[in-house]
Amino acid sequence: MGAIRNIFNSRSEKDGIFFGQVKKIIGFSPKNLKCYEEAFTHRSLNLKDGKGNSFNYERLEFLGDAMLGAVIASYLFNEVGRGDEGYLTKMRSKVVSREHLNELGRDLHLLDLARAAIPKENFGINIHGNLFEALVGAIHRDRGYSYAREFIHDRVIDPYVDIEKLEGRVISYKSLVIEWCQKQKMSFNFDAYEDSGQDVIKHFSVRLSIDKKQVAKARGTSKKKAEEKAAKRAYYAFQDKINPQEFN
């Protein structure tokens, strides 16, 4: 009997610590702690719930992504009356960009709460944003729309959403450079090729030419990353001519 009591005391103690950690992050007391346990469980543990369904953060990540999009879209719709559909879509994309969500997840130290069967240093950088979205999904499952909306306002909109700054924020230098070239009726070409050299990991190089003149070159672990780096360098080379706000 003593051994059984110790097991339950240990579980209760762990739940109490986890409860306190979650409460500190979300700003209110969780009702159903299971929702948050799911939000911080990685698929590598291969856990199942009582119905045999996978128990990890991926479904909550999907729900949180939808919640973020809806709440931020509603905010922008109400606050920016001059914005048409294209403008509002781009502004929402800037708020919920993967880079920004990763930043939010890191600031809240969400990875510290994650449970996984693999070392945390092996996770890609997007784990931070994935956990943030899963947390939003968990709040919605636990306390409903109003609590999730309040959390998004407190953690995302109020501290980070400044319309004027967002208008000048670039989320894709490649898209910006392409739009600028098209507006100026100039040709452009991203010439990508494998360039691993002595690297163990495969790398690619990209030469960006505008009007048949090479303006930037960059290297990355994927063609997409190399193209974005090259476009960013081209942007800074022409930043006195390219105004991001013109393409919002």
Q: Catalytic site residues?
A: 65, 133
User: Beta partners for 214?
Assistant: 209
Give the chain's radius of gyration (CA, Å): 22
Q: Are 218 and 206 in contact (CB under 8 A)?
A: yes
Q: Are 133 and 72 in contact (CB under 8 A)?
A: no
- Residue type for position 130: N
- As a whole number of angstroms, the distance between CA 228 and CA 221 comes to 12
User: In Å, how far are 121, 122, 169 from 127, measured between CA atoms?
Assistant: 11, 10, 23
- As a whole number of angstroms, the distance between CA 95 and CA 2 comes to 53
Q: Are 190 and 206 in contact (CB under 8 A)?
A: yes
Residue 24's nearest CA partner among 113, 114, 122, 142 is: 113
